[in-house]
Structure 1
Amino acid sequence: MALLEVKDLVIDIPTEAGVLHAVSGISFSLERGETLAIVGESGSGKSLTSLALMDLLPKRAQRKAAKISFDGADLMTISAGGMRKLRGNRMAMIFQEPMTSLNPAYTIGDQLMEALTCHRKVSAKEARDRAIHLLEKVGITAADRRLGQYPHQLSGGLRQRVMIAMALMCGPDLIIADEPTTALDVTIQAQILHLIADLQKEFGMAVILITHDLGVVARVADKVGVMYAGRLVETGAARAVFKHPRHPYTRGLLDCIPVPGRTVPGMPLGAIRGQVPNLIGKLEGCAFRNRCDFAGPECAGEIAIAHPEPEHDVRCVRMPVLEASA
């Protein structure tokens, strides 16, 4: 049985202009020890999807789904108390910006220890020892001294490592990392990604990585879900998606990345014209068609999911035209 199963997840947000359909019927599953990367432009619904899994959506947001199951527990019917027992314990989240996620009024040690004492019957010494152990595990030196420091006394890279240690305090089965490297420089990004991959292997966790960086995905993901305008337009094994992208949007994202040995220095990189459409109101047909070089009249109708190979799903009716141009 899969650790996490999501079927037909919908997130609607009422606004003065109408209902914003932020996420429209996405489905995926995740096994223990796997890494699923969900990629796409800003505004595609990636972060809201992760918040929906943790039941942390804004109050006005309305979550519906045929199924959201975590290790057999139905997250659509679970009580608020039951969800609190899972959240931070068996399901943990690394948020996008640690400076706004860590409480500036409490020390690093207090916040790390609280994550454990809320879910386990442990002494203060045991919680402190666990916090020191995990800070060392994530590469923070002088960990016992760091426990007495406040978030503003740490660099961005150290704060992100603290967030990872906090997520690991209870030994979760699933970690959701929402753009964990966005605010960091390239060198620290690589360190954080290697750290998450190493810790995953050591602790056997499943990981959902939310990102817009396909270079990141290529290094760490087992499976990829490409998200556009609230829908998953292509899903499959990372190797298959990168080797044979079957959706025009996926190809457009990949064309934006320079390829060593193939991209000529000084040559302009690919770009996707236009912008993500307004998601208020009903959206007919393929949401990408106004930006797509392969669009045809049929793109304005219902778009069925094609299965070009096992466990590789594509929401596109122009896939043969795209492949012919490859």
Structure 2
Amino acid sequence: MSPLLDVEGLHVRIPLEQGMLHPVRGIGFNVSRGETLCIVGESGCGKSLTSLSLMGLLPRRARITATRLRFAGTDLLGLNEDALSELRGNRMAMIFQEPMTSLNPAYSIGNQLEEIYLRHRKASRSEARERAIFLLEKVGITAAASRLSQYPHQLSGGLRQRIMIAMALMCGPELIIADEPTTALDVTVQAQILRLLKDLLRELDMGLILITHDLGVVARIADRVAVMYAGQIVESGSVIEIFERPRHPYMQALLRCVPIPGRTPPGASLGSIPGMVPALYEGTKGCAFRNRCDYAAEPCASDPVPVHANRGSTWRCILSEDESLIHTSKAARSAETAAS
């Protein structure tokens, strides 16, 4: 069965005074119905720009190209703005990172929920209201009917995020893109939102792309993971393979930054990655991670960096699988020794 979303060779370029910025560089992935793909990486790696390019919401100056960009058999690159507008919010929906800035403070919750349904379903106001109440109850909001007259500032962060999820579900989309939907929430509410997304995904047979930098969130909800660095996917595979057998030095370094329950003592020093994500202007060559990598060598500056594949995983590195896994084992032993 063909995937719901199929992306190959996606590039985003933005002309600036300093030159042509190239923040998304030839990435590819796919998502099937009922599946969760997590795109993980530091801030500035191109995750949000990738999601905006799928929805056709890039800045006017941005230029997008792709070898293949298909949603449910439709070529997204071939659609004009009217066709994209008909698709957005209807068959593809997005949950943005900060609901307080995504919800309009001048309109009630009911108006904002109903507007989507009225726009895409040509339904009556009463039908839209019934749909809004049903979905507010579905996402765990009590006294749903009374919430419709409230405004965003009258609600807590957890309630606002649940309303954003209900808004994304108003037209029964086939794909939801969630851009760090739990970043601004406390741990308890975060767990509730993740459980809700997982239950809705299974119940409604949707595809879900979850963008995050939180590896704990990835471990709880992902089926597959795409690790993004400097505009490229440097490693991808099943969530089990990525966490148990990380091949790319960047993913290995990210895991060293995470405390291990039961092993990392309180107050112990965690790993860190020196430096920062480079600015990616046109003409960048070689591995963008080489200036921060413990295993960088002269061939890392060459272009292109080889891509390996095994066990359904792919990774972009000069290291072979055996070499990368040796480094993983050494790092794990060092972490255990430090924690003992």
TM-score > 0.5 by shorter chain: yes
2:216 and 2:249 map into 1 onto residues whose CA distance is 18
Which residue matches 2:227?
A: 226
Of the three residues 308, 316, 330, the one matched with 1:306 is 308
Q: State the AA in 1 paired with 2:191.
A: A
TM-superposed CA distance for 1:284, in Å, is 1.2
Q: State the AA in 1 paired with 2:325.
A: E
Matches within 5 A, 1:159-238: 159-238=160-239
1:280 and 1:15 map into 2 onto residues whose CA distance is 10
Are positions 1:31 and 2:32 aligned together? yes
Q: State the AA in 2 paired with 1:110.
A: N
1:291 and 1:318 map into 2 onto residues whose CA distance is 15
2:312 and 2:6 map into 1 onto residues whose CA distance is 15
Which residue matches 2:248?
A: 247
2:121 and 2:214 map into 1 onto residues whose CA distance is 36
TM value normalised by structure 1: 0.98
Which residue matches 2:59?
A: 58
1:79 and 1:59 map into 2 onto residues whose CA distance is 14
TM-superposed CA distance for 1:317, in Å, is 0.8
How many equivalent pairs are there?
325
Are positions 1:286 and 2:313 aligned together? no
2:151 and 2:266 map into 1 onto residues whose CA distance is 44
Of the three residues 313, 320, 323, the one matched with 1:321 is 323
Are positions 1:152 and 2:153 aligned together? yes
SS in 2 for 1:117: helix
2:268 and 2:319 map into 1 onto residues whose CA distance is 28
2:247 and 2:183 map into 1 onto residues whose CA distance is 27
Q: State the AA in 2 paired with 1:134.
A: L
SS in 2 for 1:111: helix
Q: Which moved more, 1:44-53 or 1:185-194?
A: 185-194
Which residue matches 2:48?
A: 47
SS in 2 for 1:181: coil
SS in 2 for 1:99: helix
RMSD of aligned Cα (Å): 1.0
| Identity fraction in percent | 61
| Preserved CA contact (<8 Å) 1:89 1:170 | yes
1:192 and 1:165 map into 2 onto residues whose CA distance is 12
Which residue matches 1:138?
A: 139
SS in 1 for 2:121: coil
| Preserved CA contact (<8 Å) 1:226 1:234 | yes
TM value normalised by structure 2: 0.94
Q: Deviations over 1:142-183 (max 9, x none)?
A: 111100011111111111110000000011000000000111
| Preserved CA contact (<8 Å) 1:294 1:321 | no
| Preserved CA contact (<8 Å) 1:4 1:30 | yes
Which residue matches 2:103?
A: 102
Q: Which moved more, 1:118-127 or 1:285-294?
A: 118-127
| Preserved CA contact (<8 Å) 1:294 1:322 | no
Q: State the AA in 1 paired with 2:324.
A: L
1:291 and 1:58 map into 2 onto residues whose CA distance is 30
Which residue matches 2:274?
A: 273
1:236 and 1:28 map into 2 onto residues whose CA distance is 10
SS in 1 for 2:120: coil
